[in-house]
Chains A and B, each alone.
Chain A
Amino acid sequence: FTSSTGCRLNQGSGKPRGPLALEEELVSASQLEEEDLGPDLAPDVEEEGDDLGDPAVQSAVHNSQVRGRRTCFSQTLKFLSQTLDHLAPLPFRPSLPSAGSAARHFGPQLPAPDPSLLCSPPTSWPLRLSLRSHLTQLHPQHQRILKQQQQQGRPRSPPAKKWPQQPDSYANLMTQKEKDWVVKVQMVQLQSEKPRLDDYYYQEYYQKLEKKQADEELLGRRSRFEALKLVTPYIQKAEAYESVVRIEGSLGQVAVSTCFTPRRAIDAVPHGTQEQETAAASSQRLWVLYRIEKMFLQLLEIEDGQQEAQPRDSEQRSSQVEKLFQALKAQGQNNLEAADDGFLQALSVGKGKALVARLLPFLPRDRAVSLLLAITRHLPFLVKRDVADQALQMLFQPLSKCIRHLTFWELLQGLQGLMRLPPGSSERPITVVLQNQFGISLLYALLSHGEQLVSLNSSLKEPSSDHSAWTDMVVLTAWEIAQMPTASLAEPLAVPSNLLPLFCHHVDRQLVQKLEARMEYVTVEIRS
């Protein structure tokens, strides 16, 4: 029976060392002020000879323990820290007067703490089993408590069973270094840079305990310890591995792949958007995207059908189109919002705009008009939501085709939406619209169409509520355009040629001059 200390002085069989050694392993990993048994006890124990008598060892150690309680721990710690450095450099250095003699004494025989102890731990020490190895660093409070318990002669469970005398055929399968390495691998995974987070309960618990004891101390209980330095034990940093292995002269990365350095495939880092989305908002967005994808499948079918140009399927196609239109207007999740909302949700996303742009040519006139009116009604909202995508432009072409089929009354409806002052705001929607390229283009297209309708249809020129509404609209628009600083006025996608004459007709010269400047007319078509 060889050394029972935490520091093995002999290599040898993988016999369990018994409870004692485990304690000392505890100790060996501990902080400064730990009291321990001291390896200078080891020689004593060793000299006791070759027996398996744990109880003997224990009693011996006990005695010496009582004796050498405080004297030897400094030596021990220096020695132990040396041995541990051999394995894993610890960040702390016990600030103790170095007892050189002790170190020298054990120097040459420098073994490592024996993790094999853990490989076959005695079942009698469930408490000790929870402490993993020499690399476990216990909270000082915890160690003190354990020490106390041990000193108070906590009833020892029956000593570890005796191992049979026959030679163990499985002994020495691994060398000490290998064992240490395995334990180290396990321990490395447990170490963390933020012990207060990863190991929250343990740290807190013992800190509270410590605080309680400090309070008790203040209240006059026996002061057990001098002021202790609490050294933070956990900061053993695993070395940051090089994720890219470069060898001079090689072509790019070397094809080396280990468990610590797997080959890096791509830098797929999701770049989060600026806006913080709540869970509800993001699920809503996902729902909208899902809807849009389903509608796209329908649209693709329709487009394929058109490709094949089979006239007998036109009924089928129109029913498909109608179904798609209904899907577009439909809501889905919460039906509390306004009627247009499903449609607006779809339009808020770039994909949705593409969908609508491609759907518009297929829609019958009244459906298309309803879409157009919905868009003009909510134009400021759409403009605001389009800031990220800038995708409204793709709607302009199909919408302008649709505008040409508008009736005068429908046109007025659309325009009036832009002029109305929304509740709680002093700004007309048209102001926002004029600053956006799509908005201003749409507005110009509407006005141009209106002018065309009026010029073609003389009955509209008669004074009527419609006509006055139209005139008001034109004047107001002209005024707003003139109001706006040229810089903030967006450049339209297309400027209809009959627009300026329209304005000339309805507003005074001064305003017209301002308008001219803003609309940058080169040629002016004189209306006959």
Chain B
Amino acid sequence: MLFYSFFKSLVGKDVVVELKNDLSICGTLHSVDQYLNIKLTDISVTDPEKYPHMLSVKNCFIRGSVVRYVHWPADEVDTQLLQDAARKEALQQKQ
């Protein structure tokens, strides 16, 4: 649940989602679920518009399993807190 909790804190921020098929989508994070499926609003395709398919699309739902990377601005995340959360999670799993 670590990353679900983490992504919840990013809701409303602008992120860039890179998919495993090399498509990169920029948009505002609308919601996330426990499978890390992502809903983005106001999307645009970041790379040169060689993907004209997406021109008319405003909102999208991305299945969590096709995501390769999610990029966000560095100052929107507290790395120390993330480390602590990871430690707690590791501890929990050991018990």
Residues of A within 8 A of B (CB): 244, 251-255, 263-266, 293, 296-297, 300, 351, 354
Residue of A nearest to B18 (CB): A266
Q: Which residues of A have CB within 8 Å of B51?
A: 251-252
Taking a contact as CB atoms under 8 Å apart, the answer to whether B87 and A251 are in contact is no
B23 within 8 A of A: yes
Interface size class, chain B: 10 to 19
Complex Cα gap A272–B5 (Å): 31
B84 within 8 A of A: yes
Taking a contact as CB atoms under 8 Å apart, the answer to whether B22 and A300 are in contact is no
Residue of B nearest to A301 (CB): B91
Taking a contact as CB atoms under 8 Å apart, the answer to whether B80 and A263 are in contact is no
Residue of A nearest to B69 (CB): A266
B93 within 8 A of A: no
B20 within 8 A of A: yes
Q: Which residues of B have CB within 8 Å of A351?
A: 83
Knowing A251-B53, A252-B51, say if A300 contacts B19 (CB, 8 Å): no
Knowing A266-B68, A297-B87, say if A354 contacts B80 (CB, 8 Å): yes
B56 within 8 A of A: no
B79 to chain A, nearest CB (A): 10
Residue of B nearest to A250 (CB): B21
Complex Cα gap A300–B87 (Å): 9
B63 within 8 A of A: no
Residue of B nearest to A303 (CB): B84
A294 to chain B, nearest CB (A): 10
Residue of B nearest to A244 (CB): B22
Complex Cα gap A80–B21 (Å): 45
Complex Cα gap A351–B51 (Å): 43
Offer 28 A-B interface pairs, CB within 8 angstroms, sorted by A. A251-B21, A251-B23, A251-B51, A251-B53, A251-B54, A252-B19, A252-B21, A252-B22, A252-B23, A252-B51, A253-B22, A254-B21, A255-B21, A263-B20, A264-B20, A265-B20, A265-B68, A266-B68, A266-B69, A296-B83, A296-B84, A296-B87, A297-B87, A297-B91, A300-B84, A300-B87, A300-B88, A354-B80
B78 to chain A, nearest CB (A): 12
Residue of A nearest to B24 (CB): A252
Additional 8 contacts, C-beta under 8 A, given A251-B23, A253-B21? A251-B21, A251-B53, A252-B19, A253-B22, A263-B20, A264-B20, A265-B68, A296-B83
Complex Cα gap A264–B22 (Å): 9
Q: Which residues of A have CB within 8 Å of B84?
A: 296, 300
Complex Cα gap A265–B65 (Å): 11
Contact of A253 among B20, B69, B80, B91 (CB under 8 A): B20
Q: Which residues of A have CB within 8 Å of B87?
A: 293, 296-297, 300
Q: Which residues of A have CB within 8 Å of B83?
A: 296, 351
Complex Cα gap A296–B89 (Å): 13
Q: Which residues of A have CB within 8 Å of B69?
A: 266
Complex Cα gap A293–B87 (Å): 8
Residue of B nearest to A293 (CB): B87
Complex Cα gap A296–B51 (Å): 47
Complex Cα gap A244–B21 (Å): 9
Q: Which residues of A have CB within 8 Å of B54?
A: 251
Residues 21-46 of B contacting A (Cβ, < 8 Å): 21-23
Residue of A nearest to B51 (CB): A251
B61 to chain A, nearest CB (A): 15
Complex Cα gap A266–B21 (Å): 10
Complex Cα gap A323–B53 (Å): 61
Complex Cα gap A265–B19 (Å): 9
Q: Which residues of B have CB within 8 Å of A293?
A: 87
Q: Which of A251, A293, A296, A297 has the most CB of B within 10 A?
A: A251
B51 to chain A, nearest CB (A): 6
A115 to chain B, nearest CB (A): 39
Complex Cα gap A351–B87 (Å): 13
Complex Cα gap A351–B69 (Å): 25
Complex Cα gap A300–B90 (Å): 13
Q: Which residues of B have CB within 8 Å of A251?
A: 21, 23, 51, 53-54
Q: Which residues of A have CB within 8 Å of B88?
A: 300
Q: Which of B19, B51, B84 has the most CB of A within 10 A?
A: B84
Complex Cα gap A354–B81 (Å): 11
Q: Which residues of A have CB within 8 Å of B21?
A: 251-255
B69 to chain A, nearest CB (A): 7
Residue of B nearest to A358 (CB): B80
